[in-house]
Amino acid sequence: MASTNDPFQFQEFEEAGNLLEANKDAVTISIEDDFKPEKQRKAAGFAPDGEDEDPLAGDDKTELLSGQKKSVPFWTFEYYQKFFDIETHHVKERIIGSMVPWPGKNFIHVYLRRNPDLYGPFWICTTLVFAIAISGNISNFLVHLGKPNYKYTPEFRKVTIAATAIFSYAWFVPLALWGFLLWRNNKVMNLVSYSFMEIVCVYGYSLSIYIPAVFLWILPYEWLRWCSIVLALCLSGTVLVMTFWPAVRDDHPKVIVAIMSAIVVLNVLLAVGCKAYFFSKPEPALQVENSAITAAIKATAST
């Protein structure tokens, strides 16, 4: 209120509500944050009072704690429970995200969001083990169908071998990759670094494209098998390469090429190795040759 008095003299103002009633168009500012002037005071270097410190300290502490998870020792059950903190739709999104590489969408940043899980990798690997064993069994059966001297055997040893191969791929390759990235991080300052669980998660989910591919391999057509292998390799290889590209792109070009080719080559080895070991090729030419040779041997032996 303008007054003819000295402007520096203390004046009593009426309540804000009454003032507003007089002049409804007046612009009003309300300061909601009571801590702001106190924070500014603290920042300016004034020593805060005892009672001012406690709410601010509480604020800082709660801010720090909300960002970081409670650290539990690794021998308790709760430690592993935090890796299973996902819901059904999360798992579905992650599986689809690992099958469809979208340019610009880094699997770890978009889907994991600092919440890697162990559910997906473990059950995808288990499903893949049984899928390979069962499909291999069925395809062998179909290939040898109708041959009189074929005895159908469900080969359960192959489950163990498949399990060893797939689980060691899903655990030791991420371990090696994580160790390598850690070593490079010491030499070259990288902005992006992945934790071990995140790498395991990416590798586990990237195996999910092989499950439908393995079921396609039941049909004994070589061209179909090779087409599906190539397609699956391209998709999962692309996802892996795109995920690890930000972590190595600041590095020496030779190192980048070495890492990327190692990732791709190991993926190829796993796929082709599984196909070669568990799925036998239909070889009619060889069979005819064998029977011809045995007939010839019998003929020469009888004379």
Partner 1 sequence: MAAAEDASRPFAGLSDVSISEDIPVEGDISVPVGSTRRDDEFSTLDEPVKETILRDLRAVGNKFVHVLYPKRSTALLRDWDLWGPLLLCVTLALLLQGGAADSDDQGGPQFAEVFVIVWFGSIIITLNSKLLGGTISFFQSLCVLGYCIMPLTAAMAVCRIVLVGGSGKVSFAVRLAVVTVSFGWSTFASTAFLADSQPPNRKALVVYPVFLFYFVIGWMILTFSPSQ
Residues that bind partner 1 (CB under 8 A): 77, 80-81, 83-84, 86-89, 91, 119, 123, 126-127, 130, 134, 137, 151-157
In the complex, least distance from residue 222 CB atom to partner 1, rounded to whole angstroms: 25
Q: Is 121 or 237 the residue whose CB approaches partner 1 more closely?
A: 121
Token digits of residue 273: 């190795």
Q: Are 121 and 107 in contact (CB under 8 A)?
A: no
In the complex, least distance from residue 91 CB atom to partner 1, rounded to whole angstroms: 6
CA geometry: angle 298, 301, 303, nearest 5 deg = 115
CA distance 240 to 260: 9
Q: Is 10 or 77 the residue whose CB approaches partner 1 more closely?
A: 77
In the complex, least distance from residue 88 CB atom to partner 1, rounded to whole angstroms: 4
CA geometry: angle 174, 95, 134, nearest 5 deg = 85
Q: Is 133 or 202 the residue whose CB approaches partner 1 more closely?
A: 133
> Helices 35-43 and 50-67: crossing angle, nearest 10°?
100
In the complex, least distance from residue 208 CB atom to partner 1, rounded to whole angstroms: 13
Q: Is 80 or 183 the residue whose CB approaches partner 1 more closely?
A: 80
Q: Is 141 or 245 the residue whose CB approaches partner 1 more closely?
A: 141
DSSP line for 135-166? HHHHHHHHHTTT-TT------THHHHHHHHHH
CA distance 110 to 94: 9
Q: Is 115 or 190 the residue whose CB approaches partner 1 more closely?
A: 115
Q: Which of 247, 162, 165, 159 is nearest to 202 (CA)?
A: 247
Q: Which of 117, 257, 285 is nearest to 201 (CA)?
A: 117
Q: Is 146 or 284 the residue whose CB approaches partner 1 more closely?
A: 146
Q: Are 266 and 122 in contact (CB under 8 A)?
A: no
In the complex, least distance from residue 167 CB atom to partner 1, rounded to whole angstroms: 13
Q: Is 208 or 267 the residue whose CB approaches partner 1 more closely?
A: 208
CA distance 197 to 171: 10
Per DSSP, 282 falls in state: P
Q: Are 212 and 204 in contact (CB under 8 A)?
A: no
CA distance 112 to 239: 14
